[in-house]
Amino acid sequence: MSIAAFAAIVLTLTILLSGCAKVSNIIRIENIKSGDAKFVSENMIMGGENGKLFFYDLSKGEKKDTEIYSNWSAILPEENVVVFSNSECETGICKLDDKKKIIWSEKIFSKDCDLRIDPAIVKIGDTYYLTSTRINGEINRADVNKENGIYTLSLYRSKDLKKWNYVGDVVKDNHNIEDIDLMNDDGKLRVIFERETIDKGASAIVTMLSEDSGKTWKDAVTLVDDGADNEPAALMKTDSGYRLFYSSDAQRKEESYEGASAYIATYDFDFKPVKSAMMTTEPKSGILLYDVIVEEDRAKILFSEKYLTVNNLIVEDISLP
């Protein structure tokens, strides 16, 4: 490892006090300013920096840039498949080998007339499902006095990752519809997203279920109400219900990402709330949570530290509350 690469990671051991002393491992990546990031595996993350898709090996402290233009991305890790969208109104997909080298890349939507953001992908049986959020009009409204654009969350499916067929629209709304994720819920298709009035303003986290492969959708269920700026990172099914990881400025309202903390909320199988708690992290605030890997009573979380000002990428291993 080069001196520069070594210096890019600050590895610290932090003592967390939560009834008893616990050790938390942090990797702080100070030289990458990413607007989005995901776990590829426990030892690798990906994201977009300056409009280009990159991969970062956490164990080696090495960054690998690609020639793929990407501002938003999602991954199907078990198949090494990445779907991406960019500010050039393109949405595409690429396949990786086991060393995370790109084997092939295809455009799904190219030079579309509308911007498409926050793609998501999941596989159920032998079929791949992909969502794309198309914005017509004002993008990411920050002023409540302006007319917001229309956000349309659309679903597509494919058998081979190359030919995609339109299934239908999941939701069409004049709110900002962002941070989309798709989930295989026991063979049924579940979508999770943020529904926001204005950029960095109050937002709700919502889920919807389809029992017929996306042709129709049940009514939306609100997981977190719009009392703060709430950003979903991951929804997981457990033996007793569901577990949601998200960040929120509920303790420091109207500070958005700069004042947000990381949370975990649990629900029964009918999405009735069971409990919620703030996760003990270092730093304690300024968290925009991107992704989570869970193993028993611990989680590895990926987030941006003070996204609007500092924007360090951090991977932290924590105990779950």
Q: Domain range for residue 237?
A: 1-31+229-321
Judge whether 148 lies within some domain: no
pLDDT higher than threshold 70 for residue 162? yes
Look at residue 275 in the predicted model and tell me its pLDDT: 96
Judge whether 300 lies within some domain: yes
Distance CA 254, CA 200 (A): 8
Look at residue 199 in the predicted model and tell me its pLDDT: 85
Look at residue 233 in the predicted model and tell me its pLDDT: 98
Calculate mean pLDDT across residues 91-117: 90
Report the chain's C-alpha Rg in angstroms: 19
Calculate mean pLDDT across residues 227-252: 97
Look at residue 279 in the predicted model and tell me its pLDDT: 96
Look at residue 19 in the predicted model and tell me its pLDDT: 27
Mean pLDDT of the chain: 90
Q: With bands split at pLDDT 50, 70 and 90, how would you rate the model's confidence at 147? A: confident
pTM of the model: 0.90
Judge whether 249 lies within some domain: yes
Distance CA 155, CA 139 (A): 20
3-class DSSP state of 3? helix
Asked which of 101-105, 144-148, 247-251 is least confident by mean pLDDT, the reply is: 144-148
3-class DSSP state of 80? coil
Judge whether 13 lies within some domain: yes
Judge whether 287 lies within some domain: yes
Output the DSSP codes for 117-142.
EEEEEEEETTEEEEEEEEEESS-S--
Give the chain's domain count. Answer: 1
Distance CA 155, CA 164 (A): 10
Calculate mean pLDDT across residues 18-43: 77
Calculate mean pLDDT across residues 53-70: 95
User: Which residues sit opposite 201 in a β-bridge?
Assistant: none
Judge whether 312 lies within some domain: yes
206 contacts 223 by C-beta, under 8 angstroms: yes
- CA angle centred on 124, ends 122 and 130, rounded to 5°: 35
Judge whether 9 lies within some domain: yes
Judge whether 248 lies within some domain: yes
Look at residue 239 in the predicted model and tell me its pLDDT: 96
